[in-house]
Structure 1
Amino acid sequence: MCNILQVRWTISPQTAPRPWIACSTCGCLKPFRSSGKVRLNANGRRLDAWLIYKCVDCDKTWNRTLFERRNLRELAPATLEALQHSDPSWVRAQEFDLDGLKRKAKRIEEPPDAVVAKETVREAVDWAKLEIEIAAKLSANLRLDRLLASELAISRSRLQALHDRGNLNVHPDRSDVLRHRARDGMRIVLDLSDAVDRQAIGHAAIHSEGH
């Protein structure tokens, strides 16, 4: 009989990262938020594309280059359609492209707000281990220990103690894994066979109480 309770947590960040850019109107560095709008410029068979950002204080615009002089033949029809209509899903993926943003700004503000949706993958009545799969298609500014502590209602010190004893394992593993952000595809296994509050932790793992 399987003694593992398996759940999946889908993390959806709410606010897109904000690059800090020199605002000519404010006269200093300011965070800029995405407007959700794409600007295009065609020159023959070449296309330029920008994502328009605005200063959070004065609405001064900044055009973040997505690409320049791209041959139209290189663009998939679906991508071209998304660009022409500022498709929200396509734009959202660009907004959370941290590597692309870091090439444009040295400072990126990442609000930690996120929604965690939970679903049960496999139930087990007399479970002893809890396995949590992380689904996070967009980068979320959530440290793993803070995420687990918040959603399981247990302290970070207890999580660290479980990890130190080998009762909490993360795959893939890395140095100080609990201090790094939760990532898509990550799998956390907690051995709670000796925990008196095992059922309470399992209940928290399955049910969202708000984040």
Structure 2
Amino acid sequence: MNDFRSTRVPADGGGADRKALWFIREVGLPAIVRSCVSCRSTRHHPTDKFRVNANGKLLDVWMLICCDLCGRTSKIPVHERVHVQSLDHELLVRFENNDPALVRQLTLDAALAGRSSYRLDWTGTWELETDMPFYDLEGDDAAPLEVVVRFELPAPVRVEKLLTAGFGLSRAAVRRMVDSGRIHLPMAVDAKAREDFTLFVTT
């Protein structure tokens, strides 16, 4: 990653393109937003544990979450009434051992959130990491720039916010450069991205 980001314009001022890597680094898991049955809070976080219940040859698997305010534990169904032979043995062992990677995977799972009627709050879950040095993007002699944006977690990040943070520009300046064609994006500037993409700044 550091080798990629260290690509710079030649010292003699030549016209070689610049490259940079922006990394959406994970700093925490999203909050699980659903009403607590014991208090008025709606924010929960995983307890890092699963509960597996066997009834004959049928299994139920739940992810346990905890209310941030009162501490009440509740369950999110991951598998319900599935035949024991239909669940991969290695996966079952991971549930039984409270595999941290599996907890993270399911906490980030938007499809599971949709099935279980809760939403994810991504506030405070990411930060932008880049060591790209400053140069005047709005200058007429600015060298072309290619920026690869990579996501460590699928947090929905508004593209405009990403550009203002990465380039150190105002919203108005970002909008002006996008509208003029100086910044080329694979999506609308007011869209939310959650997967890797590449943007370009032209002269």
TM-score bracket for this pair, using the shorter chain length: 0.7 to 0.9
The number of equivalent residue pairs is 182
- Residue of 79, 86, 103 corresponding to 2:91: 79
Contact 2:58 2:84 in 1 (8 A): yes
* Superposed counterparts of 1:7-156, under 5 Å: 7-26=20-39, 28-118=40-130, 128-156=143-171
Shift in Å, 1:52: 0.6
Shift in Å, 1:59: 0.6
Q: Which amino acid aligns with 2:44?
A: F
Contact 2:38 2:70 in 1 (8 A): yes
Shift in Å, 1:35: 1.2
Shift in Å, 1:187: 1.2
- Which runs of 5 or more structure 2 residues have no equivalent in the other structure? 1-13, 133-140
Distance 1:136 1:73, change over 3 A: farther
Task: Give the aligned partner of residue 159 of structure 1.
Answer: 174
TM-score by length of 2: 0.76
Distance 1:78 1:141, change over 3 A: same
Say yes or no: does 1:179 pair with 2:190: yes
Task: Give the aligned partner of residue 10 of structure 2.
Answer: none
Shift in Å, 1:152: 2.0
Contact 1:3 1:127 in 2 (8 A): no
The sequence identity of aligned pairs, in percent, is: 24
TM-score by length of 1: 0.74
Say yes or no: does 1:170 pair with 2:185: yes
RMSD: 2.6
In structure 2, what is the Cα distance between the partners aligned to 1:74 and 1:137?
31
Q: Which has the higher contact order (CA 8 A, sep 6+)?
A: 1
Shift in Å, 1:44: 3.5
In structure 1, what is the Cα distance between the partners aligned to 2:196 and 2:168?
22
In structure 2, what is the Cα distance between the partners aligned to 1:133 and 1:77?
39
Distance 1:132 1:77, change over 3 A: farther
